[in-house]
Structure 1
Amino acid sequence: MSQVLHTPPPTQAPAEDDLAALAARHGLSVSGARPSLPEYVRQLWDRRHFITAFATAKLTAQYSQAKLGQVWQVMTPLLNAAVYYFIFGVLIGTKHNVPDYVPFLVTGVFIWTFTQSSIMAGTRAISGHLGLVRALHFPRAALPISFALQQLQQLLFSMAALVVILLCFGVPVAASWLLAIPALVLQFTFNAGVSMIVARMGAKTPDLAQLMPFLLRTWMYASGVMFSISRTLEGRPEWIARLLQVNPAAVYIDLMRFALIDSFRAGSLPPHVWAAATGWAVAAGVGGFIYFWKAEETYGRG
């Protein structure tokens, strides 16, 4: 007689629902799981002191190896302005079309540098700090926001030099200077939002950091940093000037010029410029925050 061997049925792996129930019963949770949006906002607020301290530390360390130290915070945009003045103001002659051209130019360079540096820093916010992201648990949006805050702090240092330039070129102190405060708040919100967008993109595509300088340089030339958009494009189709004037970089530059330079009248601004500035800030700030939050679980993995 042949002996019939009865093999035991294969053991089935526990279902995912059973594993989830088992983990919940023992107080376990998914590592790095994305919290709800309100909870994410609360976590960010709880770490506001870390964000501020991190931004200040990065700003202090940025020029720690240079002999002039923090002086470069002011010298860098001033040297850029001097180069642009020679090329665009003297060689091309754009200064003849703009009253108070030096204050006009320096204001544009300082405000543009704020946006440019925030976006460049945001591009590497995750990919350039993987050790920190993988070692510590914190809302990752703290990194691009802190880099935008770092650039705001640098701009505030530079504003002291800007005020001196304005006074030296005969621009009087006026109550309109107070408009610079809401303008900077809106620009910071926009910059932080865009920084979060490029931070998520840069986390997956590190090559974005190599492409970004070319994109930003093109954006700068389209934003009227060195010339008046409306006067330079006289005789061209009006829609071209309108399109360039409502791009966010041009909007925030125009707002700051309107606030600080008395010869830059309201007629120099595109229609509804404050509404445009607010719209760009809300769209980029809220949209960029949600876009970044949705990939919270992926940062530092793979």
Structure 2
Amino acid sequence: MLLNNGIDIPQLGFGVFQVPPPETAEAVTSALAAGYRHIDTAAVYRNEAGVGDALKASGVPRSELFITTKLWNSDQGHDSALHAFDASLDRLGLDYLDLYLIHWPAPAQDRYMDSWRALTKLYADGRVRAIGVSNFLPEHLSRLADLGSIIPAVNQIEVHPALQQRDVQEANTALGIATEAWSPLAQAAVLKEPVITAIAAAHGRSPAQIVLRWHLQQGRIVIPKSVTPSRIKENLAVFDFNLTEDELAQVTGLERNLRTGPHPANFN
């Protein structure tokens, strides 16, 4: 799908959150072999080097890959963000990034505006193809928009059937920002919901595939994570069927404000 600056991002990617560093290269190698070309990591995951090792060994041309990493809270600020970007790029073994995100707004620090100015410099210098944010609430997005510079291409937030953050998604849409879902399966918390298991049975699919299809049909970028090769393949096999409008509505009806991660308003 196209981002607001015209570059193409694979709508379904492979996330490595909570993948132990020693297992990262193997997991990413499995993902690349299965056909994933969009890999999402972050400095705080401490597995960028493992991602880089897998990319280097894969033989996949760099032009076919879409690599995202993120600026951690302790590195926020203009100059520190520039140094953190260099360090991430070095660990990944890359010459440029496809997407660089501010991982959290960390509002008590109030440094994300300076961090954003650093990201716009990296973008202007051609060192990253797109820049964005993660876990930003509407009030954080509006402050960035008021700068009058670049609008984030992506806002990566926790979204799954039990937590849909519709206010954030609406703010993203109003500004032309793509919504990207982390924890898209609620760390498996929604996979045993009777609604989802019934739809899965009707389609001859797994519950995870039903939830991923729900995300995709609503236009979100989605980055499931697994270290099991069979699940890695299964998560990618979601482009050959469609949910009906009624099925989409049933899954949407599972909202219950269930967070698997912290609240962006008070995580610093």
- How does the TM-score come out when normalised to structure 2? 0.25
Q: If each structure's helix is expressed as a fraction of its own residues, which one has the higher value?
A: 1
Q: Rg: which structure is higher?
A: 1
